[in-house]
Amino acid sequence: MPAPDRHPVGVSNEEFRAAMSRLAAGVVLVTARELPLDAQDPMAPGGEDVGMTATAFLSVSLDPPLVLVSLREGSRMDDLLAEQPLWGVSVLAESQRHIAGRFAMKGRISDRLLFEDIPYVRGEACGAPLVGGALATLECRTEQTVTAGDHTLVIGRVLTAQVPSADGGPLMYFKGKYRHLG
């Protein structure tokens, strides 16, 4: 019988994390707006904006334009995207480390407060916040979800893609820390 921290195939969680930490990844902020409490009532209050930092984000297809994000099963974003098919992605610049850290915090304050002092525009297609100063922004609609272990893979069709800022390099994640190229 394998040791408690080992999976039947032999790799432990720690070994897997250590190996995968050597894979440099870009950092994005995935955002979505909760649906209104009562969609039939135009006067009903809208839902909150929700955001999460992700490094497991990639391009899937050019035709049609598809991207994929991996969400921890049962997370607030996983639950929200199960109901709300429209979402946004902001590709963070190296100067936006504070945004990545803020939205990656465990036990964090409400999302409403997290967005309070961050410049953003609301996406025309998805209604979600798109971070000002990001290297690129995308607006997406969920096409498919796939359960994969303790995560949900969300494949989204890209509805809009903008490159609002050409300044600075990308924010990277490598060996458990935010980094920049250079």
Percent of the chain with pLDDT over 90: 62
State the number of CA atoms in the 13 A half-sphere of 170 facing the CB: 15
pLDDT at 36: 78
Confidence check: pLDDT of 44 > 80 = no
The pTM of the full predicted model, rounded to 2 decimals, is 0.89
Question: Do residues 31 and 130 lie in contact, with contact meaning Cβ atoms separated by under 8 Å?
Answer: yes
Pick the range with the lowest mean pLDDT from 38-47, 93-102, 130-139, 171-180: 38-47
